[in-house]
Amino acid sequence: MRPEVILYHREGCHLCERMSLELRSLQDELGFDIREVDIDADTALKQRFNAKIPVLAVGEEILCCHFLDEQGLRLELAGD
């Protein structure tokens, strides 16, 4: 099974769109699936991540906020 990364985002967020595009460009090379979660659809997520989006997580581990940490993502996926 391929690892899944979770991108917490909101519609109309340019940083979110940028991180999504960057993730998709790495997806085939690194072999992961992306699940995008709109924080505005969940009150608890909106309170938790409102000023931090986009937030990238693998499982419960938050890897980065605002900008993609490509090296951190590579290290996290290599550890699985």
How far is it, in rounded angstroms, from Cα 38 to Cα 13?
11
* Token pair in block for residue 68: 């993609």
Find the mean pLDDT for residues 17-42: 97
| pLDDT tens string 42-71 | 999 999 999 999 999 998 899 999 999 999
Q: Which of 33, 35, 38, 30 is nearest to 12 (CA)?
A: 38
Give residue 79's pLDDT. 82
CA-based torsion, 64, 33, 23, 40: positive or negative: negative
Contacts of 42-50 with C-beta under 8 Å, sequence gap 24+, read: 45/8, 49/8
**pTM recorded for the entire structure:** 0.94
